Amino acid sequence: MAESSGCQNTIVTSSMPPYPDIFSEDSKITDEIKYDILKRPWTSIHSYDFPVRVISNSTRRAKAKWFLEHTWMKYSKTKDSVYCAPCRFFGPKSGTSKEKTFGVTPVTDWSNITKLIQRHITMKSHETSLSAADDFLDVIEGKTKSVTRQISSHYDKIVTRNRQILGIIIETIIFCGQQNIALRGHKEDKGNFMALLQYRSKDNDLLREHLVSRKLENIQSTNNTTYLSPEIQNEIIEICGEIISDDIVKTCNAAPCFGFMADEATDVATIEQMALCLRFYDPSELRIREEFIGFAECKATTGESLTESFLVNLRAKGVIVNKMRGQGYDGAANMAGKYRGVQARIKEVVPGAVYTHCKAHNLNLSIIHACKEPLIRNVMNTLQEIAFMFDYSAKKLGIFKEHLANDNTANDNMEGRQKLKTLCETRWAARSEALFTFKSAFSTAHAALGELSLQHGDSKAGPYQAAIEKFDFIITLVASEHVLSALVALSCLLQKKECDLFVAADESKVVVRQLNDERNDPEVWNSLYDSAVELAATVNTDPSMPRNRGAQRNRPNAPAQSPSEYWKLNMYLPFVDHLIAELNTRLLTAEPRYVAQKLIPKNIAQLTLAVGDIIFNEYVDDAHVTKDEFRSEIRRWLAKWTGDFDDIPNNLHETLNVINKDLYPGIFQILNVFACMPVSTATAERSFSTMRRVKTYLRNTMKTNRLSGLGLLNIYREKQISADTVLDIFSRKKERKWSLIFQN
């Protein structure tokens, strides 16, 4: 072995330390290096030839037994020195401790090393470093978690606990909203919300502990957070409503265009509420959708104020207003006014938003005006007064039910109904059912009125009985019930969400054609007259007609040779003719945009290139193609649908379901515009039914944001809302006292 007078000799590499050199810069010492130095034993240390060092004129070198007796001591080959590995890695750094030997400063004095070791092992800093090293090894080996991980783990446990408690609170609020259960009672602690939480706490220790601590906090008047207050409820309800409306708005914005429907009504607190609804074609569900997106409070009902409120609220909900291509309202002047109404003002902002008067309202108006015929009006008034008599008196209704139970024919005709139906003040098409029930229970009503008059001394029952015994009442009742029954199905159709203007116009034509055919068919009238004669016979009334007087001006007075002819000329034909005229005027007036219905394959025979040019000119701003490109589409469209087909689309949404928007982009855009034009405002009005169920007399202090959220939850109660999603939004809206978000 070569030897020199220097400090180092040649080293047998096979017996070198198995761990990295401890003398490295701190930035280069990783956890893996620390672990190797602390943990890996130097089993071949006896075969290692330590360098010779001259100290005080004596040659000295490190000894293997030092390292075997003190495993914390590690040798540095590059410096021929020793360190205390725990103090080197985990002890105080330079400038922070008086004891620097073995930790900051390596030891090279082999002559005094025994004393240095004895002093070092008694130092408190050395003990602390040894403990830190043991903890480090346990963490690396997975026996324990690091401090950071322990803190993070503790934080995660807190978050998990908080989220479990708040998740149950959110689920309870969602349940109450979807089922329209009032959250608060006369006292907050006695309401349904707290009762449901108490019930759920029976099987949930965390919730039970939370509710118990809440009671203690109330007793001690502390200010800890419980997330059970009405303010938190309102915030969670609002978030749930936003989740529902945002999902609808997102789908609507993805559609080429949409229609807007709105209506306003006063709630139980005398606050004017607006119902906002959207109509659009959803290709993912292959259907036309009409969706309610919330209530909004309006300050005034002028056209200007409503327009501003509509646009502000639509934009606040994220709706792309410029995509509006249709608007639908009722016929009130502030909504439908030609110059200052909402529809006119919105067209100034979005010129392509064409207004459609609600077809269901138009049908109602047609019936209202037709029913102003004197004989029809008198029957309606009499029927309503008699229905009210039995409806608002338990005693009188009991007498009616007794007679109904003894009248098998009337019982069968009533089809399970147990009382007369009053006339609806707004849904005139539904009056057909009121007429039907009265006609079915005519003999029962007559007998009940007789008993009330004779045995109970009711002063009104006698005149009512006399009024319905007259043949003019009976024949008018039978005829009007038959005529109005033809409109019930149309009224229901116009209120359906998937109904489009093409179907509405087509079915309206069918009803008008049916009424015309029946008007001109003598068999129909003869059948009605015979039914009236049969009904009159049950109360011993003979067919009759008023005397014909030349000076008579207050009733129809066309001359006739028989009662049948008289009632046909003076009651039936005027009523039917008036109704047909109203339907033609209000439901069958063609708008320029209606020409797009000729693109539907069912009407392909009416489509030509010239008609295609008319369609293009009407929809030029929405076609997104040139006129020549659209004519090319028309030629291809004609070729596609000309011929015999077993299954041809016969309405708008079926056509949209099968059209290839890449081959027919112009036609696809035009049909989307036509589809989004509202047929009725029934969706908005249905939402007011929900409003009246949610905001009742006992809940009249409810604010609009809470009303809107609860309304959305109740209307879309089949929609699954994740409590975790609500919780994430809730936790990020502002800084919370509880930790609710897991750290990454």
Q: Could you tell me the pLDDT band of residue 27, with boundaries at 50, 70 and 90?
A: low
pLDDT greater than 60 at residue 450: yes
- Per DSSP, 327 falls in state E
Task: Provide the whole-model pTM.
Answer: 0.76
Degrees, nearest 5: CA angle 95-96-101: 75
Q: Which two tokens mark 306? A: 């409503």
Residue whose tokens read 């540095």: 76
In angstroms, the CA 660 to CA 656 distance is 8
- With a CB cutoff of 8 Å and minimum separation 6, the contacts of 445 are 386, 390, 400, 420, 438, 468
Task: Give the residue among 391, 385, 372 at the shortest CA–CA distance from 468.
Answer: 385
What distance, in Å, lies between the first and last C-alpha atoms of the chain? 58
Coil/strand/helix, residue 280:
strand
The answer, yes or no, to whether residue 664 has pLDDT greater than 90, is yes
Q: Write the DSSP symbol of residue 106.
A: -
Angle, vertex CA 352, rays to CA 318 and CA 336, nearest 5: 90
Task: Name the residue among 471, 461, 462, 420 with its Cα closest to residue 442.
Answer: 420
Span of 130-144, 216-230, 389-403 with lowest mean pLDDT: 216-230
* Residues 6+ away with beta carbon under 8 Å from 561: none
DSSP element (H, E) containing 39 = helix 31-39
How far is CA 585 from its chain centroid? 37
Q: What is the mean pLDDT of residues 364-390?
A: 93
pLDDT band of 9, cuts 50, 70, 90: very low
Q: Give the model's confidence band at 224: pLDDT under 50 very low, under 70 low, under 90 confident, else very high.
A: low
pLDDT higher at 253 or 54: 253
320-352 pLDDT, tens per residue?
999 999 999 998 899 999 899 999 999 999 999
- CB count, 10 Å around CB of 270? 7
pLDDT > 50? residue 95: no
Q: How confident is the model at residue 553 (pLDDT cuts 50, 70, 90)?
A: low
Give the pairing type, strands 73-76 and 272-282: unpaired
Question: How far from chain centre, in Å, is Cα 536?
Answer: 54
For the residues 214-235, what does the mean pLDDT come to? 70
Q: Which residues of 121-156 are buried (b: 16+ CB within 10 A; e: fewer)?
A: eebebbeebbeebeebeebbeeeeeeeeeeeeeeee
Single-letter code of the amino acid located at 660: N
- Residue 620 CA to residue 642 CA, distance in Å, equals 25
pLDDT above 50 (res 7): no
Q: Give the span between the Cα atoms of 271 and 258, in whole angstroms.
A: 28
Confidence category of residue 216, pLDDT binned at 50, 70, 90? low
Counting residues of the chain whose pLDDT is more than 70, the rounded percentage is 92
Which pLDDT belongs to residue 123? 84
What is the pLDDT, as a whole number, of residue 66?
Answer: 85
| Residue 692 pLDDT | 94
User: Which of 85, 88, 2 is CA-nearest to residue 51?
Assistant: 2
pLDDT at 634 over 90: yes
How does residue 288 score in pLDDT terms, banded at 50, 70 and 90?
A: very high
Q: What percent of the chain has pLDDT over 90?
A: 58
Tell me what pLDDT residue 550 has.
63
Regarding beta strands 354-357 and 258-266, do their DSSP bridges make them parallel or antiparallel, or are they unpaired? unpaired
Mean confidence (pLDDT) of the chain: 87
pLDDT band at residue 402 under the 50/70/90 scheme: very high
In angstroms, rounded to a whole number, what is the distance separating the alpha carbons of residues 44 and 543? Answer: 130
* Predicted local confidence at residue 214, as pLDDT: 66
**Residues 53-56: contacts with CB under 8 Å, at least 24 apart:** 53/7, 53/80, 53/108, 53/110, 55/109, 55/110, 55/111, 56/111
pLDDT of residue 702: 92
State the pLDDT at residue 130.
87
